[in-house]
Structure 1
Amino acid sequence: MFNKITIKDDERGLLFKKGSYAKHLQPGVYRHTKFSEESIVVLNVAKRFDVPTKDLSLFLKDTALLEELTVIDVQDFEYALHYRDGKFVSMLTAGTYAYWNTLHKHTFVRVDIRNPEVSSDISLIALSKLQGYYQMSEVANHETGLLFYNNVLQRELRPGKYYFWKSPTSVLVKTFDLRQQQLDMTGQEIMTEDKVTLRLNFVCQYKIVDPLKAFAIKSFEDQVYILLQLILREYVGTMKLDDLLRMKQEIALFVLSRLNEKSESYGVEFLSAGLKDIILPGDIKDILNTVLLAEKKAQANIITRREETASTRSLLNTAKLMDENVTLYRLKELEFLEKICEKIGTISLTGGGNLLEQLNSLLSVKGADK
């Protein structure tokens, strides 16, 4: 009695005698007795070479079989990208793999993950199928990045997307915003030389020009804030309140000048600075308001006296002229009489006949002229 086994064109056979591998078989028909200790394992050449319960190394000594296999040995520090007929298939981790090369061409791209950055010759299409094997970091157009492997600086990164293999090497991309930034200091309490406690609102604008120096400073923004705070205290603490209020426009110039003295060590450029508000204590504010009101009243009194003096001097000059010139005196009378007549329809006078006759005569003359 014979067992008949047919191996098709897309198949290959592996002959075992007494459980040990003997040789591989080409397509065809094979017979062996049921009582023999031979067995045949048929494999599909479109799939990976794999014999259940058998180690691959058992078959790699067969030179005839090796001619039909493509074998790759992936090391512990490697990944291998598997391409079949030029198309990406899978990612291989550490191990030994064999593929039949009779129907398809198998090629591999080795990746040394000791250098975590993904090479530019690996397509993004292949990467998109490898979720979990890589990480992506992005540097925006207004940013610059610093690349670190195991906390050791490697290089500066320009704007773009960067891909890194997940490996024992830790990867960190630290980004810095290169746009103009603003630092606000609000409600900062500072004592003047004459022991008046003020609250200041101050603002300054800056931008990072040297990311390496900025990164070397722990809590960068906090330290810039403290620098601004100390400079303000230096300026305000040496001035009296009256001088400070009179020269408050100069605070910004002084602070900006002192900030730029330190800018290189911080890796920044300070662009501008300005004092927004000076907030006085309530009692000091009341005192200043009282002083201001008194000053304004004094100024108003001076102006009033000046105007009264000028008015009196003008009246005196007019009186002298009218005293010296009868015609001028008469014209002045007529001027006042005209103003009275414009506003009053009827005039009644008592206490003297002559005055009434004079007014009537003046009015009749005026009516005749019209």
Structure 2
Amino acid sequence: MEFLDKIRGRKRIPAKENERILALYKGRLLGIFGPGETALPNRGGKLETVSFDIGRGIFVSPYEKPLFDKLPEVAARHLTAFRTTRDEVAVVERDGQIVVLMKPDDRLTVWNDAGPWSITRFDVSGELRIAPALLKRLVAFGKSSLVSVASVAEGWAGLLFVDGTYAATLEPGLQGFWSAGRTVSVKLIDLKRQTLDVNGQEVLTRDRVTIRLNLAAEYRVVDPLAAVNTVKDFADSLYRALQLAFRKTLGALSLDQILEKKVTLDAEAAEKVTADMAAIGVEVIDIALKDVILPGEMREILNQVVAAEKQAEANVIRRREETNATRSLLNTAKVMAENPVMLRLKELEALEAIAGKVERLTVYNGTGGLMNDIVRLRDN
């Protein structure tokens, strides 16, 4: 057989089940040949062959265009070419599994025998949103090169921007968008209540005392788009608004006024801050002046002042109680002078108190004599 093939100028080319042979003779395409042995012309050794493993599925060859142009029937029998327009992306699947995600103006050629093949096209000039089921498949198969994925958690909002222009506000959940030929970005905004601390702010009071303040504010974003588009950083804007408002309010007061009106100052300084932040979509829920910190020497002076004030108050109270006690003794004396029976009762109480302090008491003249002796002792 080999001898006859040489005489006839032929060569037998073997191919396995998973192989296909592309043959050229004298530079011209002969066709695509399947499993088994194929006798092909080879006079002068002018036969060229290229072997392909169809298990890979995709056909890539510099002879692709000549094959479809000059041997269209052969190409159609073995190959399928998929194309996308400038406004399309396509998902190519083989036997239900995603193989390729085609970008706009793209071409893909596959082996028919490696199929079955299917293609799903999407017009990216209109709706950019990807169905959740398809999005999960693309992410799972690692075919998300043309996809912008954003995960929006509960209590958050996602602002979708396409080529720098606001497009939509996203609800919580996994979101996906076609990003082929455009820039897609998602900015996440926290809508929950948040706390902002402004610590260590130095303020010069009207009476030239430098104090330090610690402030706290609770806020939440009610209009995410306004909060993002109006200012660069809404949290920083709130921080600076609190600084300026409290510096202006407290700088016009003396130290004594600040310490006296510490609780009511919150509402006075917070009114303008609340209005300014509402204009950029941020609701200020509460503002509190937590601490007023004085310099060391000023604290000592104030402690001395407070101690002196408390001592004076204690002296006033002590004098008032002494006066009340003296007035009570005077009233008691008047009652005894006008009522002899009351006087005798007091004398008995005194006797009882004396008797309770001695171990032995001897009475010679009876109770009457004892009482008279006590009275004489009192008179002496």
Normalised by the length of structure 2, the TM-score is: 0.78
Report the alpha carbon displacement of residue 288 of structure 1 after superposing the two structures with TM. Answer: 2.8
Report the alpha carbon displacement of residue 209 of structure 1 after superposing the two structures with TM. Answer: 0.9
Of 175, 190, 211, the residue aligned with 1:198 is: 211
For the aligned residue pairs, the C-alpha RMSD in angstroms reads 3.8
Deviations 1:126-153 (A, max 9, x none): 3322267255332221211222234332
* Alignment map for 1:9-158 (pairs within 5 Å): 14=22, 16-23=24-31, 30-31=38-39, 35=43, 48=57, 50=59, 54-61=62-69, 62-68=71-77, 69-74=79-84, 80-92=90-102, 96-102=107-113, 104-110=115-121, 119-120=130-131, 122-130=134-142, 133=145, 134=147, 136-158=149-171
Write the distance in 2 (CA, Å) between the matches of 1:30 and 1:293.
114
* Distance change >3 Å, CA 283–CA 43, structure 1 → 2: closer
Write the distance in 1 (CA, Å) between the matches of 2:297 and 2:148.
61
Write the distance in 1 (CA, Å) between the matches of 2:183 and 2:205.
52
Report the alpha carbon displacement of residue 47 of structure 1 after superposing the two structures with TM. Answer: 5.4
The residue type equivalent to 2:262 in the other structure is K
Residues 265-274 or 70-79, more deviating: 70-79
Count of aligned residue pairs for this structure pair: 359
Write the distance in 2 (CA, Å) between the matches of 1:42 and 1:152.
50
Write the distance in 2 (CA, Å) between the matches of 1:251 and 1:35.
104
The residue matched to 1:278 in structure 2 has which SS? strand
Report the alpha carbon displacement of residue 59 of structure 1 after superposing the two structures with TM. Answer: 0.7
Report the alpha carbon displacement of residue 202 of structure 1 after superposing the two structures with TM. Answer: 1.8
Deviations 1:163-201 (A, max 9, x none): 356656443322111111112122222222222222222
Write the distance in 1 (CA, Å) between the matches of 2:326 and 2:49.
138
* Distance change >3 Å, CA 38–CA 223, structure 1 → 2: closer
The residue type equivalent to 1:278 in the other structure is V
Deviations 1:36-90 (A, max 9, x none): 75667676665547475x4200110223224323112356886543212332233
* Distance change >3 Å, CA 109–CA 299, structure 1 → 2: same
Write the distance in 2 (CA, Å) between the matches of 1:248 and 1:32.
101
Report the alpha carbon displacement of residue 347 of structure 1 after superposing the two structures with TM. Answer: 6.2
Report the alpha carbon displacement of residue 23 of structure 1 after superposing the two structures with TM. Answer: 4.5
- Asked if 1:301 corresponds to 2:311, the answer is no
- Asked if 1:267 corresponds to 2:278, the answer is no
Identity of aligned residues (%): 34
The residue type equivalent to 1:56 in the other structure is E
Report the alpha carbon displacement of residue 330 of structure 1 after superposing the two structures with TM. Answer: 1.6
Contact kept in structure 2, 1:138 and 1:162, CA below 8 Å: yes
Residues 328-337 or 295-304, more deviating: 295-304
Write the distance in 1 (CA, Å) between the matches of 2:253 and 2:17.
99
Deviations 1:96-115 (A, max 9, x none): 43223256322223467788
5+ residue gaps, structure 1, are 364-370
- Asked if 1:322 corresponds to 2:332, the answer is no
Report the alpha carbon displacement of residue 250 of structure 1 after superposing the two structures with TM. Answer: 0.5
Of 212, 221, 237, the residue aligned with 1:208 is: 221
Write the distance in 1 (CA, Å) between the matches of 2:54 and 2:240.
72
The residue matched to 1:59 in structure 2 has which SS? helix
Task: Please name the residue that 1:242 is paired with.
Answer: 256
* Distance change >3 Å, CA 340–CA 115, structure 1 → 2: farther
Normalised by the length of structure 1, the TM-score is: 0.80
5+ residue gaps, structure 2, are 6-10, 375-380
Contact kept in structure 2, 1:136 and 1:164, CA below 8 Å: yes
Deviations 1:317-365 (A, max 9, x none): 222222233222121111111122223324699xxx99999449999xx
Deviations 1:268-308 (A, max 9, x none): 11111222222223333333333333332332222222222
Contact kept in structure 1, 2:19 and 2:53, CA below 8 Å: yes
The residue type equivalent to 1:305 in the other structure is R
The residue type equivalent to 1:89 in the other structure is V
Residues 132-141 or 303-312, more deviating: 132-141
Deviations 1:201-259 (A, max 9, x none): 22111111111222131233222111111111222122222222222210112233232
Write the distance in 2 (CA, Å) between the matches of 1:178 and 1:307.
61
Contact kept in structure 2, 1:91 and 1:130, CA below 8 Å: no
The residue type equivalent to 2:72 in the other structure is T
Task: Please name the residue that 1:367 is paired with.
Answer: none
The residue matched to 2:285 in structure 1 has which SS? strand
The residue matched to 1:200 in structure 2 has which SS? strand
The residue type equivalent to 1:58 in the other structure is P
Write the distance in 1 (CA, Å) between the matches of 2:193 and 2:362.
83
Residues 257-266 or 329-338, more deviating: 257-266
Contact kept in structure 1, 2:25 and 2:42, CA below 8 Å: no
Task: Please name the residue that 2:292 is paired with.
Answer: 278
